[in-house]
Amino acid sequence: MSRIVAIRPEPGLSATLAAGRAAGLDIAGWPLFELRAREWQPPEPSTIDALLIGSAAAIRLGGAGLAAFRGKPVHAVGEITAEAAREAGFAVASVGGGGLQKLLGKLATRPLRLLRLAGAEHVPLAPPEGITLETRIAYESAPLPMPGEMAQELAQGALVLLHSAAAARHLADECTRLGMSRERISLAALAPRIAEAAEAGWADVRSAAVPREAVLLALARDMCH
């Protein structure tokens, strides 16, 4: 069974490691990214009906600008993001289970004016008729160099979990920079678009059927066996 390696930034990395170990997986982690807050200009609160949040990082790193919207309901991409919103004092109106685009399609209240707090790299959305989006960039994911210990682990053969397209590209770039062969490294991606960003040359590349952590870990287990 190959070692599973997670590379997402904290605090998500610790959550993935805990979930993987609870499922009985041999999993290790090295963050190849660091989340950093970015300054953003809030729109006039009276022009916004609710918040659309695609990551708990948007809540944790949203800064002082979030205060003006504390009374607005939150539509969260998943339960982890919803819990971060609740802890910050927001009321959660809905929780998705298959990405922000699918969540948008299920929002029945219209017209609806949403403030989307996103990372510097984010998935483009097509709001349905009756829903408008104001997007603000609240944080960024800064790439970090691959630690030597991680490079040694991958050289022996491992499976890397990919939670974003940026992670896929950065992993590929770091392997190239360090002169590492991709032939002993397999990839388990949270979604097909993430797998596509990794390009070619890996031992195996597969995508989770649904973009959920538990599904990704189950996929990793299957791939390792």
pLDDT digits 0-9 by tens, 8-44:
999 999 999 999 999 999 999 999 999 999 999 999 9
The CATH number that domain 35-141 falls under is 3.40.50.10090
For residue 74, list its beta bridge partners: 51, 92
Tell me the C-alpha distance between 76 and 54, whole Å.
6
Q: For the chain, where do the domains classified as CATH 3.40.50.10090 start and end?
A: 35-141
The rounded mean pLDDT for the chain is: 95
> Cβ–Cβ contacts within 10 Å for residue 18, how many?
11
- The answer to whether residue 97 scores a pLDDT higher than 90 is no
> Cβ–Cβ contacts within 10 Å for residue 85, how many?
24
pLDDT score, position 1: 55
What predicted TM-score, i.e. pTM, was given to this entire model?
0.82
Tell me the C-alpha distance between 27 and 2, whole Å.
9
175-181: long-range contacts at Cβ-Cβ below 8 A with a sequence spacing of 24 or more?
A: 178/146, 178/151, 180/151, 180/154, 180/155, 181/155
Residue 73: both structure tokens together? 């309901």
